[in-house]
Structures are given as structure tokens and as C-alpha cells.
Amino acid sequence: MEDKVVAHTDASFSDANNRSLLKRRTALATMAGLVVGARATGASNRENHMSDTRAVRNKASYLAAKAAYNARDLDRCLDYYAPGHQIMSRPTPPGREQIRAFFESTFATWPDVQIVVENSLAEDDWVMGRSIATATHSATVMGVPATGKKIVSSFWDLHRFDEKGLITQTWNLMDTFSIMQQLGVVA
């Protein structure tokens, strides 16, 4: 199953319109997940149903967090992360402030970055996504001064959720080689 979730910011839309669109997209993603989840499992027993419900909730939260990220609403985005959240793909202490710092650093380097979730899968307490990030090279990256080029790269992320539906752990894998190629660092 493929999910195409894009939450582009547009100065011509009011914040209220953006929030309304986000709520509708999140609701549609949740409903689609419920239908597919019920069909895939047959919803035959209580344990599978509870697990499926949890997976659907977690996937909807994952997609909503990505939409809030694209809208630059970090407070709303971080509401989907547990207070003790930890980035597992690089050594960082636990705490939401670590993921906030990561996001703020990304925005400083890539101010117009947008994420399109191409695929997302959920099972029990886990959600994994494959996304495409697009941004303008407007700051020095890997020693290369800003070129104004549009950079497009894939990345994968894996998230573990707690019983409250909050993200507790995150692993990220960015296709850094493709970024290096687009910047001209490698051939």
C-alpha cells in the first residue's frame, strides 16, 4: 500500500486553511488504514484487532507528524514524540529537545525542505516510512557553498511507539551518496 502525503506550506493559504487541510488528510489516512487493516487481518480475534488498531493509530500519528514538520509547526510535530524520545541512529541523550534541535538544524540548512511520504508500513508498535525530501541548496553543505540547486533524496525512518501512541525511538537513514552526487562532491 502506498501513501502519498504532502503537506506543502503556501503563503497564500491561511493557517486555518492549512490546519483544516491537515485534519482532512490525517482523517483520510486514518480511515484508509482502518479499511486496509481490517481486510488484511480479517479482524478475526481481539488480539489482532487491538494490534491492528494500535498500528493504524501509530501510522496516522506518523503521517500527521510529517505534515506538521512540513508546515514548520514544530510544537505540533513534537506532540507526537514522547518526552523521553531518543534518536537511535546517532548518539544523543533522550529527550524531545534532541529531536527539536535536529529539526531546527535541518531547517537552518534546508529552509524549504519538504517531505513526501511515498510508503509507510505499520505493525504493532512500529512504523516505517520511505520518503522523498526535496530542498534548495541554499547553505554550505559538505563544504559546498550554496548553489541554488534543487536537491532530491530518499530517506527511510523507523519509529517505535509507546502504549499512548507517542514516538519513543527513531532510526533515520538518508541517501547521503545521492546528495553528495547532486552537490558535485562525488561523481
Q: In Å, what is the CA distance from 56 to each residue of 51, 86, 104, 139?
A: 9, 22, 28, 38
Determine the average pLDDT of the residues in 41-59: 70
pLDDT at 46 over 80: no
pLDDT digits over 62-82, tens only?
999 999 999 999 999 999 999
Average pLDDT on 99-124 reads: 95
Q: How many domains does the chain have?
A: 1
Name, in order, each residue with C-beta under 8 angstroms of 23's C-beta and a sequence gap of 6 or more. none
Burial (0-12, 13-18, 19+ Cβ within 10 Å), 56: buried
Cell of residue 8, nine digits: 506543502
pTM: 0.72
E-strand spans in the chain? 2-6, 81-87, 114-123, 126-136, 150-161, 167-174
H-run or E-run covering 16: helix 15-41
Which pLDDT value is given to residue 48?
55
> Which pLDDT value is given to residue 50?
61
153: which 3 cell numbers? Answer: 533524496
**Residue 35: which domain range?**
2-183
Q: How confident is the model at residue 182 (pLDDT cuts 50, 70, 90)?
A: very high
Read off the pLDDT of residues 122-178 as tens digits, 9 standing for 90 and up: 999 999 999 999 999 999 999 999 999 999 999 999 999 999 999 999 999 999 999
- Say which CATH number the domain at 84 has: 3.10.450.50
Mean pLDDT of 27-33: 48
